[in-house]
Amino acid sequence: MPAHYKHLFFDLDHTLWDFDKNSEATLRQLYTEYDLASRGITDFDALFRSYNVHNDKLWARYRNGFIKRDELRWKRMWLMLLDFKVADTSLAHELSTAFLEILPSQTLLIPHAKELLEHCKGRYEMHLITNGFETTQRLKLQYSGIARYFTHLITSERSNSMKPYKEIFDFALAAAGAQAEHSIMIGDAVEIDIKGAINAGWHSAYYNPLSLPHTHKPTYEVSHLSQLMDVF
């Protein structure tokens, strides 16, 4: 084990918890329950692509302070429906509420996530730093069976900051009683997790399954979580 690491800080969505597959399963359930095909939305795959586009854009606006949480949540549904010429604000709010009720109960993890956590258990203190919302993230951990691995869950709500800003990393160190030189951030978003860790003076491990090009210099870069078992 690298002697200098005592604390491992993981991102949750897309790093351990399979946000894409769990979101798709949730939206597919709503597609059936709300009979969206009868509204002229006959291509579920196109609907899911639309959701992802708007969700990513709105999260970027939220991180930059341009919109509030509630606006992010319902507008991704509203804009998705508008792409299919369904202008129904009431339906968008209903879908948003149902989506947020079902999503955290989904349990699919990124391949080798459980094995990595089991491998590191007892050898490091493990924590989470997530821009997700407190209640939602706690439910995801409980339903997916990985809550027991983590000592602290640091969310943007709790810290009043967000990755990649240095403040949330400083908050995480204080909460965990850790020091930057003994800590490493593990995440999938190079402009959020890795850039944030570098700016905060931490080591970082970039989970990059698609081998996307970038200009940052993480301490480690892997395409499969199993490769981190060789690091830790």
pLDDT digits (tens, 9 = 90+) for 100-111: 999 999 999 999
Mean pLDDT confidence for 52-73: 93
Pairing of the two strands 152-155 and 7-10: unpaired
Q: How much is the average pLDDT of 167-181?
A: 97
Contact 189, 11 (CB under 8 A): yes
Residue in the structure block whose two tokens are 């991704």 = 76
* pLDDT confidence of residue 3: 52
Domain ranges of the chain: 7-18+109-231, 19-105
**Mean pLDDT, residues 155-168:** 95
What order of strands is seen across the sheet that includes strand 152-155? 152-155, 125-130, 7-10, 183-187, 203-207, 220-222
Give the whole-angstrom CA distance, residue 119 versus residue 66: 40
Could you give the percent of the chain with pLDDT greater than 90? 95
Architecture of domain 7-18+109-231 in CATH?
3-Layer(aba) Sandwich (3.40)
Of the candidate ranges 61-65, 116-120, 168-172, the one whose mean pLDDT is the lowest:
61-65
Reported confidence tier of residue 63, pLDDT bands at 50, 70, 90: confident
Q: Tell me, what's the pLDDT at 2?
A: 54
Question: What confidence tens digit (pLDDT) does each residue in 28-56 have?
Answer: 999 999 999 999 999 999 999 999 999 99
Closest CA to 147 of 111, 180, 121, 168: 121
Look up the CATH superfamily of 19-105: Putative phosphatase; domain 2 (1.10.150.240)
Are the C-beta atoms of 152 and 128 separated by less than 8 Å? Answer: yes
What is the number of other CB atoms lying within 10 angstroms of the CB of residue 146? 22
pLDDT band at 145 (very low <50, low <70, confident <90, very high): very high
pLDDT at 66 > cutoff 50: yes
Give residue 187's pLDDT.
98
